Structure 1
Amino acid sequence: MTEWMFSDPPNVAVFTTRSIVREGAWIARVFHDADDGSWQFHDSTPGEPPEEEAMIVALSSMVLRDGTLNDLADLPEGWCAWRDGPAAPWKRGRIG
């Protein structure tokens, strides 16, 4: 792995879905929550994923899965990022 870009440590727990971890779905949306600074990584399925789809993994495992996440290392708390496809650029905006 290259230089660690995030202010959170590589082993910080983050939320994601089984479709990303087990099925290799691409990461379409990233949330950096304002209330506790946690990270969420979602696939392109519309809406909130069902609770039974949730997984907790290390942030480093997500970065290893998709190196473009390094582009979001400076995403402020209370912001999200999204893209239209796995090769599309990330867009950013405030959550809500």
Structure 2
Amino acid sequence: MKFPFYDAPNTATITCCHILENGEPILYVSHDEDDGMWQFLCGKAHETDEAKLVSLKSVFDLDNSVGILKDMPCGYYAERKAQDDEWSVRKR
């Protein structure tokens, strides 16, 4: 699948160690209103030291289903209960 995001592939994003190190699915995505940063998380509570900085392309390569969120505006977030569920997008 072609990289769909408007941001550059090397755009810095935040993910968690649970996704990178344990292979947990991305269940929560935030497009932050204050700085436009993307966050791709597993849906659990996190400590600061569990955050990892990776490229947007790296996240997309892990799970192409996040590409459907390419148009999600800043200030919104998306959730799903399982990796094969539909995303539910909401404004913060």
Shorter-chain TM-score tier: over 0.9
Cα offsets for 1:39-87 (capped at 9, x unmatched): 0011032x3x100101000000100100101100001000000001111
| Post-superposition offset of 1:4 | 2.3
Q: What is the aligned partner in structure 1 of residue 61 from structure 2?
A: 64
Give structure 1 regions of 4+ aligned residues with deviation exceeding 3 angstroms.
none
Aligned length: 92
- Could you list the runs of 5+ residues in structure 2 that have no partner in the other structure? none
Conservation of the 8 A alpha-carbon contact between 2:27 and 2:79? yes
CA-atom RMSD, angstroms? 0.9
- Could you list the runs of 5+ residues in structure 1 that have no partner in the other structure? none
TM norm structure 1 = 0.92
TM norm structure 2 = 0.95
Q: What letter matches 2:80 in structure 1?
A: R
Percent of aligned pairs with the same amino acid: 34
